Structure 1
Amino acid sequence: MSQTEEEQVPTATEWEQRQEWTVEEHDAGERIDKFLTEALEEDTSRTQVQQWIKDGCATVDGRTVKPNYKLNAGEVLSLLIPEPKELEVVAEPIPLDVVYEDSDLIVVNKPRGLVVHPAVGHYNGTLVNGLLYHCKDLSGINGVMRPGIVHRIDKDTSGLLMAAKNDLAHGGLAAQLKAHTVNRKYIALVHGNVPHDNGTIDAPIGRDPKERKLYTVTERNSKHAVTHFLVLERFGDYTLLELKLETGRTHQIRVHMKFIGHPLVGDPAYGPSKSKGVVMEGQALHAAVLGFDHPRTNEYLEFEAPVPEDMRRLIDVLKLR
């Protein structure tokens, strides 16, 4: 699965659960190793996928196959990705913008461009590598690849992220995310003039059957997703929004904004193929507010992080138009 934007990170046990796909007509005849490589994380190599298939981790309608097996429409493809047991994620002196820290948790303001946690084929240079160097110890609930990580945001989304230093804190923060009691607000610059001053997008999200690395609004194999929006300012062909998450699905904000016809500025996956006017490297999306109850003291904590300089400059340019 992709590095996600707002979604709660599954536990190590959930990580080992099966992922399933139903083969569509347009995928009939495609090799299983190619199909899976495209469906999984960007850094997952075809060689790794082929090894998983050889090890029996992939099945088609319940039976094991070879990496060159050609899929048929209607078949159900299952994959069990084994948790890497022996891998050691190395602590690295990566600069961190620490907003809050105590013996139980840490809140950081993640810069755009920084991957949250290691994945298959991408083990270094992530936020987790930096956290291990800074904190020395993180909760072990999510295994060796994602210690301490309770939720995540995309590589090219900036903003606030919390991590747990021990299992008590991890469990408490994860429970709040599951109950939708964590206050998460994002600032986004989108294409077009959003006509309503505020509103709610209630539309289920699932894998895009045509682009398996992406997500879309769909009724098929989807999850309930709700995003609330408030218009902060309009700039003619662009609108600045505050977005509040009720649920936290993979790429939720990006998918929902595309769904209502106002994709994020700079979004390479869900934005327009050709962007006229303003240009930005990575989506103009910032996790600006994060509020939750402290897992040990129950004290409500809330933090704010200003939008990054590149996004601020873009907004200032639009104000002068």
Structure 2
Amino acid sequence: MKKKQKTYRATEYTVTETIELLPFLLQAMTKNSRNSVKAILTRGQVAVDGQPVTQHNHSLQPGQKVSIQSNQASLNHSKLVGVTIIHEDDDLIIINKEAGLLSVASKTENELTAYRQVTNYVQSSRPDQRVFVVHRLDKDTSGVMMFAKNEKTQQTLQNNWNEFVKERMYTALVEGKVVSESGTIKSWLTENSAFKVYSSPVDNGGQYAVTHYKRIQSNKDFSLLEVLLETGRKNQIRAHMEELGYPVVGDKKYGATSNPLRRLGLHATALSFIHPRTGKIVRYVAEIPQIFISRSKK
């Protein structure tokens, strides 16, 4: 195995043979006891190719990257509220944001945000480190969100967003039993003075928007949809689901009549993009909230 020492937050190893995770860690961490290595694994301090793994028998393949967080990094992670770090490298931090947490505060708001917490997290070990906003999620939407750790990465991604981003997948819990197994909604979106986005089937000078959806499961009350964005307009999924006749659960602004989740039924499940430094396509996933699945079961 090849060892690469990064900042004190994590040590990274490259796998050179097919092996299970626990034996690999025991080989890598010879100064630690077996029980100590097991504890590090159980606490979630180990990631494989950027994805946290706790299973002892997880199979590793040559070329994969295994990173081990220090105890201090693990402690910093535990201080985060409504934010879970999915992946971190020298250029990017990918998080899973919970519903109800602002991505970034407005000029008139001073409440806790994902941006502020990620900034505090990186500055706990490097006080001069800055964090840059790449994109945002609505306050009531949960899921995968990305920050840059330097301005060059931020500008590269923002200026070439449509070229770099290969997949934006959401999961939506909507009202009613969606009849079609799959479909595509194409329309023009415009925002009124009350900040509600309206969908028009004809070009009215708004922004052209395309949303693809696939029904995962449904019952008489709710449907669980996999939603792929071809364009990324403000409130696109919410406006398109209202137009389809199946508003997102909890979305009173866009036609919902129920709120059994006590939150918006919208989750950013996966983000796939070309990494600006490596040029390779990477994909990060935030697990679908279990309540979305249970509410839409037959």
| TM class by smaller structure | 0.5 to 0.7
- Corresponding position: 1:285 with 2:263: no
What are structure 2's unaligned runs of at least 5 residues?
1-78, 124-128
Q: Evaluate the alpha carbon distance shift between residue 233 and residue 176 of structure 1 in structure 2; reply closer, same or farther with a 3 A threshold.
A: farther
- Residue 237 of structure 2 aligns to a residue in which SS? helix
CA contact (8 A) 2:250 2:260 kept: yes
Distance in 2 between the 1:102 and 1:183 partners? 20
CA contact (8 A) 2:157 2:164 kept: no
Q: Evaluate the alpha carbon distance shift between residue 221 and residue 123 of structure 1 in structure 2; reply closer, same or farther with a 3 A threshold.
A: farther
Alignment map for 1:67-216 (pairs within 5 Å): 94-95=80-81, 96-136=83-123, 137-138=129-130, 148-179=132-163, 181-208=165-192, 212-216=194-198
Distance in 1 between the 2:296 and 2:154 partners? 41
Letter in 2 for 1:163: F
**Cα RMSD (Å):** 1.9
Deviation sequence 1:262-290 (CA, Å, 0-9, x none): 10011131133x33xx6122211110111
Aligned to 2:3: none
Deviation sequence 1:36-66 (CA, Å, 0-9, x none): xxxxxxxxxxxxxxxxxxxxxxxxxxxxxxx
TM-score between both structures, scaled by the size of structure 1: 0.62
2:215 to 231, 237, 242: 231
- Corresponding position: 1:244 with 2:244: no
1:253 to 233, 237, 240: 237
Letter in 2 for 1:244: L
Question: Which gives a bigger RCO, structure 1 or 2 (Cα 8 Å, sep 6+)?
Answer: 1
TM-score between both structures, scaled by the size of structure 2: 0.67
**Higher relative strand content:** 2
CA contact (8 A) 1:176 1:182 kept: no
**Larger-gyration structure (1/2):** 2
- Residue 145 of structure 2 aligns to a residue in which SS? strand
1:315 to 277, 290, 293: 293
What are structure 1's unaligned runs of at least 5 residues?
1-92, 140-147
Deviation sequence 1:53-95 (CA, Å, 0-9, x none): xxxxxxxxxxxxxxxxxxxxxxxxxxxxxxxxxxxxxxxx643
Letter in 1 for 2:291: R
